[in-house]
């Protein structure tokens, strides 16, 4: 009996393996070339961008400056001309600039040709506060620097807060400071600043607020009901103006009769003549001890 082969025969075409390898290489070659090109371009870009000066910061441009100077901000900045534009930390730079007492906020943007554009917002001083020395306080109630000549000291002064008390219990006295600033805002909004300018506001946790005008008039507001008290004050001042009189002292802090205003009127030459009257509504003065109803 004839015996067949014990394994399968595989017919091979001469050169088939070489042709398959050649086809595979032809298909892969474009990808290999592309990867090599990308790698070369990346390396060239790294050489040109990082090692060369093409992407180095040439200048820092500051906008919004009035009190601070560019050099003061450059001294604070962790980023300097010559640093690489793509690898610097703009957030860290903005935080560093906010350490300047006049800077409330800062935004840093990259620009081309390589530079940094810095938009700053400066604080707006609203008043001075006496804390064992005069300090500037902004319209948000933040005490931000000690006042020095050149800061523009023609501002109302807030008194009544001791330095040690402020340092140890700032959260307790911050509402007093905020209330004084709110009073300044409402005084201006009502147009009272056109009639009389506030020179000092004294705050007291127990007795409330007392203010003095540039003319030397003392106005005791006490605590609470600010809007109603300013309305009564405006009415009384209008009545005094109509009479050609000037108040030396006005009391709006009568807790038993909160709708009355006690007034001591100055004499014609600025000396007090001893007259006083109470005011609680409309009308005009009717005598030495009368009421405005």
Alpha helix locations (H) across the chain? 16-46, 70-76, 90-97, 163-168, 170-189, 226-243
d(CA 179, CA 204): 11
Higher pLDDT, 13 or 206: 206
Task: Mark whether 93 and 149 lie in a shared domain.
Answer: no
> What is the CATH classification number for the domain harbouring 248?
3.40.50.11690
Question: Is residue 224's pLDDT more than 70?
Answer: yes
Task: Mark whether 104 and 144 lie in a shared domain.
Answer: no
Residue 157: beta bridge partners?
Answer: 128, 200
Region 59-73: what's the mean pLDDT?
96
d(CA 55, CA 57): 6
Q: Is residue 45 part of a domain?
A: no
d(CA 189, CA 199): 17
- For residue range 88-117, what is the model confidence (pLDDT) as tens digits? 999 999 999 999 999 999 999 999 989 999
DSSP assignment of 107-164: EEEEETTTEEEEEEEE--EEEEEESSSEEEEETTS-EEEE--TTS---S-EEE---HH
Q: How confident is the model at residue 153 (pLDDT cuts 50, 70, 90)?
A: confident
Question: Is residue 270's pLDDT more than 50?
Answer: no
Task: Mark whether 60 and 144 lie in a shared domain.
Answer: no
- For residue range 75-84, what is the model confidence (pLDDT) as tens digits? 999 999 999 9
Task: Mark whether 144 and 105 lie in a shared domain.
Answer: no
d(CA 171, CA 151): 26
Task: Mark whether 166 and 245 lie in a shared domain.
Answer: yes
Region 237-265: what's the mean pLDDT?
87
Could you list the residue range(s) of the whole structural domain that residue 163 is in?
Answer: 125-265
The domain boundary, picked from 72, 95, 122, lies at 122
- Number of compact structural domains in the chain: 2
- For residue range 174-208, what is the model confidence (pLDDT) as tens digits? 898 999 999 999 999 999 988 889 999 999 988 89
Average pLDDT, the chain: 82
């Amino acid at each position: 009996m004839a015996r067949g082969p014990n394994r399968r025969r595989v017919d091979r075409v001469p050169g088939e393996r070489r042709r398959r390898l050649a086809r595979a290489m032809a298909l892969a070659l474009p990808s290999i070339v592309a990867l090599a090109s990308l790698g070369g371009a990346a390396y060239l870009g790294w050489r040109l961008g990082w090692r060369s000066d093409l992407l180095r910061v040439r200048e820092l441009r500051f906008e919004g400056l009035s009190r601070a100077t560019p050099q003061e901000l450059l001294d604070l900045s962790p980023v300097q001309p010559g640093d690489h534009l793509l690898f610097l930390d703009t957030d860290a730079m903005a935080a560093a600039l906010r350490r300047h007492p006049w800077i409330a906020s800062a935004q840093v943007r990259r620009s081309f040709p390589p530079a940094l554009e810095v938009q700053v917002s400066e604080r707006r001083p609203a008043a001075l506060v006496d804390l064992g020395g005069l300090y500037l306080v902004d319209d948000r109630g933040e005490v931000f620097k000690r006042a020095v000549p050149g800061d523009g000291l023609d501002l109302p002064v807030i008194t009544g807060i001791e330095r040690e008390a402020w340092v140890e219990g700032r959260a307790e006295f911050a509402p007093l400071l905020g209330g004084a600033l709110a009073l300044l805002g409402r005084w201006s909004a009502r147009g009272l600043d056109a009639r009389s300018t506030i020179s000092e506001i004294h705050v007291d946790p127990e007795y409330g607020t007392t203010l003095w005008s540039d003319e030397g008039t003392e106005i005791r507001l006490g605590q609470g009901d600010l809007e109603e008290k300013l309305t009564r004050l405006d009415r009384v001042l209008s009545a005094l103006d109509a009479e050609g009189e000037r108040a030396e002292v006005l009391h709006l802090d009568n807790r038993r009769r909160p709708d009355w205003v006690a007034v001591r009127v100055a004499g014609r030459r600025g000396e007090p003549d001893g007259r006083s009257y109470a005011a609680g509504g409309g009308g005009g003065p009717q005598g030495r001890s009368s009421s405005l109803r």
